[in-house]
Amino acid sequence: MGDSGGPKFLHSQMFEAFSKELRGQQDERRPGSRQARQNVRADSEGADEDGHELRLKVNSRERKRMHDLNLAMDGLREVMPYSHGPSVRKLSKIATLMLARNYIVMLSSSLEEMKKLVSEVYAGHQKYPTHCGQLAGPPAPLAGHHGPASSLPGMVVPTTVLPASNTSCLAAANYLPFRPVAHDVHPGAPVLMGSSYRHFSDVPCPCAGCHPGGPHMTRAAAHLTALNTNK
C-alpha cells in the first residue's frame, strides 16, 4: 500500500461522463480542477496497459461507492437541525456524524421523558376519569411550559403545544421536546464546523467546546484533536 506514486491509470470517456454527472461541467473547464488533473494524466500516460480496463472499472466502482456515501451523508445533513442555505457552510462529514450521534442521544432521552410524562398523564386519567375521555385533573403545570420534561437540560416546552384548556392524552402525544431556534454564530466551532456554523438553542452541538463534560464528545473531540495535531 501507498506506493506514493499517485494514480497510475487513466480515465475513459465513461469516467468523464460519470464525473460530469457528479461534479458538473464547470469543474472540467476550471484549470487545476480534479477533472483537469485527470485529463493531464490521461494525456501523459498510455491507455494500452494490460489490466487497464479492469483498473478503470475498479476506479469507477469506487467513485460510485463514494458518491453513494456522499449522497447518504447529504441525506443525513438534510434531517439535521442546523441552518441550511447558500449562505451557511455545509457541515463537514465528521461534524455531520458527530452531530447526528448527539441528536439521536438527545431524542432518545426525550423519548424516555415523554414515556414518563405520558404514563403520569395516564395515571391521572385513571384517577380522574371524565365522560369525554379528557382529563379532569389533577392540576398540571402544563400551560406554564414548565412541565416535567422541561427539567431536561436544554429542553424547552413550547407553550402552544400544551394549552391549559386541553390536557388530553392526544395533546400529550403532540408534545415536542425541543424548539429549533437559531441563535448567533458559534465562535468556538471553527475546527469541526467552520465559523459559519449556526447553533440551535436546544440541539446538541458536535463541537468539543460545547461539551466540556460530555464523556462521548470529549473522547471524540480528543481523538480529532490528536488526529489534527499528528498531521
- Using CB under 7 A as the criterion, which residues of the chain lie in contact with DNA when the complex forms? 1-9, 11, 15, 19, 22-23, 30-34, 36-38, 55, 57-63, 65-67, 70, 90, 92-95, 190-192, 194-196, 228, 231
Residue with Cβ nearer DNA (194 or 214): 194
Q: How far is the CB of 81 from DNA (least distance, A)?
A: 18
Residue with Cβ nearer DNA (38 or 110): 38
Residue with Cβ nearer DNA (103 or 197): 197
Q: How far is the CB of 65 from DNA (least distance, A)?
A: 5
Residue with Cβ nearer DNA (38 or 167): 38
Name the grid cell of 87: 449562505
Residue with Cβ nearer DNA (1 or 132): 1
Q: How far is the CB of 183 from DNA (least distance, A)?
A: 18
Residues in a beta bridge with 182: 200
Q: How far is the CB of 201 from DNA (least distance, A)?
A: 23
Q: How far is the CB of 37 from DNA (least distance, A)?
A: 5
- Least Cα distance to 205 among 76, 82, 119 occurs for 82
**At a CB cut-off of 8 Å and minimum separation 6, what does 54 contact?**
none
Q: How far apart are CA 167 and CA 172, in angstroms?
A: 7
Q: How far apart are CA 158 and CA 41, in angstroms?
A: 58
**Residue 168, CA distances (Å) to 71, 111, 176, 207 in order:** 42, 19, 15, 39
Supply angle C-alpha 23, 28, 30, rounded to 5: 110
- Least Cα distance to 218 among 231, 207, 203 occurs for 207
Q: How far is the CB of 6 from DNA (least distance, A)?
A: 4
Q: How far apart are CA 148 and CA 146, in angstroms?
A: 7
Residue with Cβ nearer DNA (148 or 194): 194
